[in-house]
Amino acid sequence: MPEDADVVDLPGVTLLPGLVDTHVHLAFDASPDPIGALATRDAAETFAAMCVAARRAARAGVTTLRDLGDVDYLALGVRAAARADWTLPDVLAAGVPITTPGGHCHVLGGAASGVEGVRAAVRERHERGVDVVKVMASGGNMTAGSRPEAPQFTAEELRALVDEAHRLGLPVTAHAHGTAAIVDSVASGVDSLEHASFMTADAVDDIPHGLLDEIQRRGVALSLTLGLKPVEGFAMPPEMASRRPKLIANATAMRASGARIVVGTDAGIAPIKPHDVLPTALVHLAQIGMSPAEALHAITGRAAEVLGLGDRKGKILPGYDADILAVDGDPLRDPAAIHRIRAVYVRGAALTAPAIRP
């Protein structure tokens, strides 16, 4: 221990590595209409709101975030601001997601088409300095006229996009709901899948035979959309509630296959998805068969590895960033302990002010 270090006395706590959320949207305000709300703000207002959202995550122990869709590449500014502001968690950013003209989240400004079009879109993001390329491989729920079950790009376009990104040293993560988009994304060589819900127009597909083996063989990480905070008046829509048993069965099979499962909450997209929602996902990880230790690993060490940060995040070790969460009790016996936060340290700085022993 360095001689000038402060000694902090926190009896009865368990120390955990800071939590890692692999899929958030800092620019979405967790209101009933985040895209509409975004349109009413200028860039400065959006940036300020993004910093508030990031700080809210940090106070819940989420010390690393991956932003998978902003406007005007503003999340890169939050990433930069965090270097000088210890109240901000570390941010990885995809910037503006790549989608098709009129496709899912096209209002964010990332439409591209054709093999040359998607390659150019990847190069633009590389020049901007993104950490990862996000592609909307299927439609999504937030965009009118978009069908989650339908693929948006051809297999050829997806292959070109991944090829260009990997050539430039960037990983690719694919938003993929429907089975065809999931299969095409895996075949194209993406590094991870977001959602992987196998949604059809009115239900949920079986996972195609052999696909989980292929996902395992290629080392594709599965960033499952878990975690929610109940909010009065914002229940899950019935068409989603009816899909739940099959979604849980599929995710249980994914976990049993040995696939690398992490949690991307999609924080910001709805009132039940505030930016500090990640700790609530432990309950959902238990529902798909994870022990408390495995579930904690999925939102700490494994998530850090999937994000390429395994050499400095996700563990409490000498030489690692001191992102530390102190909770009352033992989360290995009582997962709800994750919500009883006594202290959060972001890169060694205390967000809260626990007693310091003189």
Contact residues: Zn ion, CB under 5 A: 266
Q: Which among 81, 77, 112, 107 has a CA at the least distance from the CA of 95?
A: 77
Task: Please state the closest distance from residue 69 (CB atom) to Zn ion, in A.
Answer: 6
**How far apart are CB 195 and Zn ion at their closest, in Å?**
8
Report d(CA 57, CA 325) in Å as an integer.
12
Q: Which residue of this chain has its Cβ atom nearest to Zn ion in the complex?
A: 266
In the bound state with Zn ion, the residue whose beta carbon lies nearer, of 111 and 324, is 111
Tell me how far, at minimum, the Cβ of 264 lies from Zn ion, in Å.
Answer: 7
Dist. CA 221–CA 193, nearest whole Å: 6
Q: How far is the CB of 338 from Zn ion (least distance, A)?
A: 23
Are 313 and 304 a contacting pair, CB within 8 Å? yes
Task: Tell me whether residue 14 or residue 46 sits nearer to Zn ion (CB atom).
Answer: 46
CB-wise, 269 or 338, nearer to Zn ion? 269
Residue closer to Zn ion, measured from CB, 177 or 297: 177
How near is the Cβ of 296 to Zn ion at its closest, in Å?
23
DSSP code per residue over 239-265:
HHHTTHHHHHHHHHHHHHTT-EEEE--
Is there a contact between 321 and 313 (Cβ–Cβ < 8 Å)? Answer: yes
The angle subtended at Cα 230 by Cα 225 and Cα 236, nearest 5°, is 65
Query: CB neighbours (10 Å) of residue 58?
Result: 27
Q: Which is nearer to Zn ion, 104 or 297 (CB)?
A: 104
| CA separation for the pair 161, 40 (Å, rounded) | 32
